[in-house]
Amino acid sequence: MVRPAGRSRLYQHWKGRSKFYCDGRCITGGEVECPIACLGGLSCASLGAWLCILLPSCGYFVFLFPSLYRQWGPKLLAAALVLFTMTVGFLLATCCSDPGIIPPRRIVLLAGSREHLKQQLGYDLLGPAGLEPSHDQLIDAETMVPEHLRKQGYRWCKTCEIIRPPRAAHCKDCDHCVLRFDHHCPFVNNCVGQRNYHYFFAFTTSALFFAALVLPAFMRAFSGVSGDAPGWYGWIVTVGFVAVAAITVLLVCLWLYHCWLSLQGKTTKEHWRRLDFDSEPTLLALPGPRLMQPRQWVEMVEEADV
């Protein structure tokens, strides 16, 4: 079946597992969406991550903060609001930003961006001019990747049908290649890669500082619960204290691990796979330009409706 196609946004032709929202302005990963979530793009794991931040924050601001405010005043309010806003903002940025997607072959051809990408990347993403992939991994790995690139670690992605740089990888959860791939995080339902690693690190840092501010308040309330307090209050304080303590321990481990990775100049994947790329910077490296503009208008004469 063939349908006439007019002017449309590039993201409307996307066939990977990632999903675009807000008319192509936001992108999330390819995790299965949570059936009880009314908001699109939330997987069960990412819904859990949001609840782990929002529920203790509500408990802190609603039940504990009034008495703390009388003691510490507006300075504590300002610190708590800044850290809460940073935590939520950086989490949102990690969840919805382009992690460094390398567009697959059909999207490059559709967008007509081959020459532009060649200038940005310093090599032809689609392989030698005039050559088309044979769809045989062994043959394409030899013929489509020039020898000088192969020696530098460039590899052929048989799914995207492109040449990917040495530190890039194909995410099977999102079904696309990502520049300097760190890992796919189910808790943010997105890949963490070259273009959003700084958001991810800023999120763990601000969440850790926010937890450090909130935990003593829960600890004080937990140790001060008396028999006179209503049962529901004691229950909220106990659950809140245990949850915030557990989240803080996890955040400390995660933050220290990524500090260590940054000092080593390695990604999570490179550490676990024991790959060595001369310890190039990760956190302090520039995110670089986007390789795909999802909102770009594309003109199509006709497209096979598959």
- DSSP H or E segment with residue 83: helix 74-96
Six-digit token string for 144: 């489509």
Six-digit token string for 64: 């504990």
Contacts to Zn ion from residues 185-224, by CB under 5 A: 191
- Helices and strands per DSSP (H, E), number in the chain: 10, 13
44 is catalytic: no
Q: Which of 160, 188, 237, 292 binds Zn ion (CB under 5 A)?
A: 160
Q: Which of 83, 157, 188, 298 binds Zn ion (CB under 5 A)?
A: 157
C-alpha distances out from residue 213 to 67, 242, 280, Å: 15, 15, 34
Q: In whole angstroms, how close is the CB of 291 to Zn ion at the nearest point?
A: 12
In the bound state with Zn ion, the residue whose beta carbon lies nearer, of 171 and 261, is 171
Q: In whole angstroms, how close is the CB of 170 to Zn ion at the nearest point?
A: 3
Q: With contacts defined by CB under 5 A, how many residues of the chain interact with Zn ion?
A: 11
Contacts to Zn ion from residues 12-31, by CB under 5 A: 29
Q: Which of 171, 202, 217, 292 binds Zn ion (CB under 5 A)?
A: 171
Contacts to Zn ion from residues 27-86, by CB under 5 A: 29
- Beta 162-164 vs 155-157: how paired, if at all? antiparallel
Catalytic residue among 96, 185, 191, 259: 185
Q: Which of 183, 184, 198, 258 binds Zn ion (CB under 5 A)?
A: 184
Tokens 């829960």 locate to 218
Rounded CA gap, 114 and 121, in Å?
10
Rounded CA gap, 171 and 306, in Å?
23
User: Which residues face 19 on adjacent strands?
Assistant: 28
Q: What is the DSSP string of 18-54?
A: -EEETTTTEEE--PPBPTT-SSTT-BHHHHHHHHHHH
Q: Which of 120, 143, 159, 238 binds Zn ion (CB under 5 A)?
A: 159
Q: In whole angstroms, how close is the CB of 33 to Zn ion at the nearest point?
A: 15
Tokens 């489509």 locate to 144
In the bound state with Zn ion, the residue whose beta carbon lies nearer, of 182 and 202, is 182
Q: In whole angstroms, how close is the CB of 35 to Zn ion at the nearest point?
A: 21
Cβ(95)–Cβ(189) below 8 Å: yes
Q: Considering the rule CB under 5 A, would residue 170 count as an interface residue with Zn ion?
A: yes
Residue type, 117: L
Q: Considering the rule CB under 5 A, would residue 179 count as an interface residue with Zn ion?
A: no
Of 175, 177, 180, 173, which Cα lies nearest the Cα of 197? 180
Q: Which of 31, 33, 140, 173 binds Zn ion (CB under 5 A)?
A: 173
Q: In whole angstroms, how close is the CB of 99 to Zn ion at the nearest point?
A: 7
In the bound state with Zn ion, the residue whose beta carbon lies nearer, of 94 and 205, is 94
Tokens 């096979």 locate to 304
Site residues for Zn ion per CB under 5 A? 29, 157, 159-160, 170-171, 173-174, 177, 184, 191
Write out the catalytic residue numbers.
185
